């Protein structure tokens, strides 16, 4: 991949600003707290459809899928992205949730860009 440019850095900063302005900092704190339940069946018991926790999990997954889509289409510099964010760790924390939701809705493609981005980062380590 090409060396990051100022344009790449500008996009990354815009993504960081979007993240901060949309309340994702609070959601990320929740994700790493004891309030988050990594096991999907236990998660569903604690956070049923329509609950605040369910909304938080979907919010962070949507954010990661957006980054993954930019990554897939090479619209965000991989080196900067992976230096900025531990995508693979976020995936590992949310993996059971994502796979559970995929199973519920019957769509194996759901959040596939998030998963692929995490696998790519893990392969770089």
pLDDT tens digits for 38-51? 999 999 999 999 99
Q: Which tens digits make up the pLDDT trace of 33-90?
A: 999 999 999 999 999 999 999 999 999 999 999 999 999 999 999 999 999 999 999 9
| CA dist., res. 121 & res. 22, Å (int) | 25
- Mean pLDDT (the chain) is 96
85 within 8 A of 49, measured Cβ to Cβ: no
Q: What is the pTM of this model?
A: 0.93
90 within 8 A of 83, measured Cβ to Cβ: no
Residue by residue, DSSP assigns 54-111 as: HHHHHHHHHHHHHHHHHHHTT-S-HHHHHHH--HHHHHHHHHHHHHHHHHHHT-TTTT
Question: Where are the chain's structural domains?
Answer: 24-124
């Amino acid at each position: 991949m090409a060396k990051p440019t100022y344009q790449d850095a500008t996009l990354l900063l815009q993504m960081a600003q979007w993240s901060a302005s949309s309340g994702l900092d609070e959601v990320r704190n929740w994700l790493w707290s004891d309030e988050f339940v990594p096991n999907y069946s236990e998660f569903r018991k604690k956070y049923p459809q329509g609950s605040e926790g369910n909304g938080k999990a979907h919010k962070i997954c949507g954010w990661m899928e957006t980054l993954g889509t930019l990554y897939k289409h090479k619209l965000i510099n991989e080196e900067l992205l992976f230096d900025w964010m531990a995508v693979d760790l976020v995936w590992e924390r949310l993996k059971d949730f994502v796979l559970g939701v995929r199973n519920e809705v019957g769509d194996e493609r759901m959040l596939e860009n998030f998963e692929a981005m995490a696998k790519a980062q893990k392969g770089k380590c």
